[in-house]
Structure 1
Amino acid sequence: MSTDTAVSTRTSTRSLLSARGLHVTFPGRRGAPPARAVDGVDLDIGAGEIVALVGESGCGKTTLARSLLGLVRPTSGTISFDGKPLAYSSGALKAYRKRAQLVLQDPSGSLNPRHTVYDAVAEGLRIHGYAGDEREAVAGALARAGLRPPERFFLRYPHELSGGQRQRVVIAGALVLEPELIVADEPVASLDASVRGEILALLLRLRDELGLSALVVTHDLGLAWNIADRVAVMYLGRVVETGPVESVLTAPQHPYTQALLSVLPESGSAPVVLTGEPPDPSRIPSGCRFHARCQVLASGAAAAVADLCRGESLPVLDGGGARAVACHWVTREPTG
């Protein structure tokens, strides 16, 4: 885990990836209202910084991650990389994807079972017309991903590897293009507990050795605790709490973050069971989007701001490194 000082140093560096006012809306099916999967997000990822994007299934975090990579075009809002707006022509996206790479959660599904490890890692080089020594580049990427000696893996097929080795091959396939940013979607969700720590340690080492930035998408706050410099907690299309990971996870302010943390074994508190319906991006409620399931509002502790919770929308949180929370109960003094 990074110290507060280290976090402060990293988050003060230049912003590598920046999103402002991002919305992604999908048409509803059979006359249903449109689904607002991402409903107003500002987010920055600094050079050499690891940001964890956390939230339960259906909150919009994977859609947000894919839009940041140019895989899903936003309905509105802007995305900038290294200070330049993201363009959506085929040539511009191809160039961008050399600098920003996706690592998926299921290495078995990411790797073609008919391709050797060498071909799997070399695929990106061939797509981008790499003019250097392909064999040397593939060997270097495999070595950086922890598969040594790399030549021993060249002619192996995915079914001949362990789950952890397959995930390392997927990471090597991203590293071979020497990207500046990796977006890892649940990078250890399909791995055994004994291997998870190895992959997380690898991502941290890559950040330290290569200056690599990363957005790690996860539902696991324990993972965020172990790897991230900063965390953004997402609920129903919007970030509801953000800040340095130690600050947010040791003293969560938003009731949703508190509920997510309560189920961790080391939390020391009784698990919070959320009531109400799971998030539905086609039916975002008025006011605070969490109010229908909020345990604080249900307990009566937030009675003084209940009308605000149910009727007054909250602003989009700043995307930078400052601690911020979107909650009437936290941000307004109770009256009466």
Structure 2
Amino acid sequence: MTTLTSTAPPAQRPLLTAEGLHVTYSGRHGDPPARAVDGVELDVRAGEIVALVGESGCGKTTLARALLGLVRPTEGRVSFGGQPLEYSSRSLKAYRKRVQLVLQDPTGSLNPRHTVYDAVAEGLRIHGYGGDEPAAVAGALSRAGLRPPERFFLRYPHELSGGQRQRVVIAGALVLEPELLVADEPVASLDASVRGEILALLLRLRAELGLSALVVTHDLGLAWNIADRVAVMYLGRIVETGDVEQVLTAPRHPYTQALLSVLPEAPGEPVVLTGEPPDPSRIPSGCRFHARCQVLASGEAERAGVAGACRGEDPGVLGGGAQAQVACHWDRSAARPSPSPLSQPSAHGCDRPRHDGAV
């Protein structure tokens, strides 16, 4: 298997790294094993926000769980701060203090019988915090935008709005002073009017605290608004990665192009992908996207002389790193035209905001 690699200068060494990561689940009733994550290389650097995007079922959440240590990889390695993740109870407890999870459904994340104070203090108690607990809880709530924090101490989740509940969940992560947040669809369950506030909060936390974040989402508009880099995932693999402006204004992989084409303000006709993503227990030979690829279906890949490679040769695993990379035979062909940047960011359905963290 070919792996495309990159070497980052010391100042840009990643905080979180996945190296050759595989997560495979045993098949049932004689079925072959399902390769939910199939050779992922991914970096998140200090102070950076990376968006992991793709259709439902592509392996995004499984990858996030593996990065958090909630799922043990079948192969490969997760490293944090240059040190491989260990899976003893003590090591995982220490790791999860530094890397916190924010889930998409704040209602499901909060115990309805616990007050806001208890919800935020839970992590402190699990980790045996010996300092001033009320001050730590108040500080976390304040950083999450719930001010004055004492006003929320004795409230219950049902007494809060959806946006306030998500801020409580974020405060519960912040109270342990983590270095990185893994946010799985952090605004998917919120009203459109509240989503921008939560995204601005995440940007402010990055600016003020130096927090890094991996944001898992199917929403390319969210990625455009918040991310520094984007990694596009399809059927267990990263198929395109690069700076958000590169990937979302001049997409190179046909899958990324198709995802962007269906956004409300995207120019031209939407690309309608045929069929559903293949079963991860039956990943096709060649490029795993070829059965649904509009470039192959239109004859462009044939004219470029790469149709046979698309159907029969694995385009390889993208290496971690900051530079733009694409796992696509057509993109690498001499006949493939250079991607033309879209004229305006609003083609993605929203304007890219200032990264000053204003709420």
Q: Name the TM-score, length of structure 1 as normaliser.
A: 0.95
3-state DSSP of counterpart to 2:58: coil
CA-to-aligned-CA distance 1:178-232 (integer Å, 9 cap, x gap): 0000000000000000000000000000001000000000000110000000000
Aligned counterpart, 1:253 = 252
How do residues 119-198 of structure 1 correspond to structure 2 at under 5 angstroms?
119-198=118-197
Shift of 1:266: 2.3
Partner in structure 1 of residue 83 of structure 2: 84
Task: Letter of the 1:162 partner, please give it.
Answer: S
CA contact (8 A) 1:10 1:47 kept: no
Identity of aligned residues (%): 82
Unaligned runs of 5+ in 1: 1-8
Equivalent residue, structure 1, for 2:327: 326
Which amino acid counterpart does residue 135 of structure 1 have in structure 2? P
Counterpart AA for 1:106: D
Q: Is 1:102 aligned to 2:101, yes or no?
A: yes
DSSP-derived class of the 1:68 partner: helix
Aligned to 1:309: 310
Structure 1 moving runs of 4+ over 4 Å: 9-12
Cα distance in 2 between the residues matched to 1:315 and 1:274: 22
SS of 2:182 mapped into structure 1: strand
**Partner Cα separation in structure 2 for residue 118 and residue 282 of structure 1:** 45
Output aligned runs, 1:1-336, within 5 Å. Answer: 13-303=12-302, 304-334=305-335
Mapped to 2, the partners of 1:214 and 1:267 lie a distance apart of 27
What is the distance in 2 between the residues matched to 1:179 and 1:152? 25
SS at match of 1:265: coil
The amino acid of 2:321's aligned partner reads G
* Structure 2 gap ranges (5+): 1-7, 337-359
Q: Is the 8 A contact 2:235 2:277 kept in 1?
A: no
Deviations 1:77-134 (A, max 9, x none): 0111001000000000000000000000000000000000000000000000000000
User: Following the alignment from structure 2 to structure 1, what is the Cα–Cα distance between the partners of residues 187 and 276?
Assistant: 28
**Distance in 2 (alpha carbons) for counterparts of 1:199 and 1:231:** 19
Query: Aligned partners of 1:204 and 1:275: how far apart in 2?
Result: 37
Alpha carbons 1:259, 1:272 under 8 Å: kept: yes
- Structure 2 distance, partners of 1:140, 1:61, is 32
- Structure 2 CA distance for aligned equivalents of residues 62 and 215 of structure 1: 11
Task: Confirm or deny: 8 A CA contact 2:33 2:281 kept in the other structure.
Answer: yes
Alignment partners' CA distance in 2, 1:329 and 1:135: 58
Give the Cα–Cα distance (whole angstroms) in 2 for the partners of residues 163 and 278 of structure 1: 32
What is the Cα deviation at residue 318 of structure 1?
1.4
The 1:226–1:155 alpha-carbon spacing in structure 2 relative to 1, beyond 3 Å, is: same
Which deviates more from structure 2 when the two are superposed, residues 105-114 or residues 313-322? 313-322
Q: Residue by residue, what CA displacement relative to the aligned partner does 1:280-307 show, whole Å, maximum 9, x if unpaired? A: 1111000000000001100111112111
> What is the CA–CA distance in structure 2 between the aligned matches of 1:229 and 1:11, rounded to whole Å?
19
Cα displacement (A) at 1:28: 1.1
Shift in Å, 1:12: 5.8
Letter in 2 for 1:65: A
Checking the alignment, whether the CA contact within 8 Å between 1:305 and 1:334 is kept in structure 2 is no
C-alpha distance after superposition, 1:119-153 (max 9, x if no partner): 00000000000000000000000000000000000
Aligned CA distance change for structure 1 residues 174 and 10 (closer, same or farther; 3 Å): farther
**Structure 1: how far apart are the matches of 2:95 and 2:182?**
13
Q: 1:31 to 1:11 in 2, by over 3 A?
A: farther
Deviation of the 1:11 alpha carbon: 11
Change in Cα spacing, 1:205 to 1:326, as seen in structure 2 (3 Å) is same
* Range that drifts further, 262-271 or 188-197: 262-271
Q: 1:97 to 1:153 in 2, by over 3 A?
A: same
Give the direction of change, closer, same or farther, for the CA distance of 1:228–1:12 in structure 2 (3 Å limit): farther
Cα displacement (A) at 1:279: 3.1
Q: What is the one-letter code of the residue matched to 1:112?
A: N
| 3-state SS in 2 of match to 1:214 | strand
CA distance in 1, matches of 2:329, 2:12: 31
CA distance in structure 2 between the aligned counterparts of 1:200 and 1:11, rounded to whole angstroms: 30
CA RMSD of aligned residues (A): 1.5
Which stretch of structure 1 is more off in the superposition, 283-292 or 266-275?
266-275
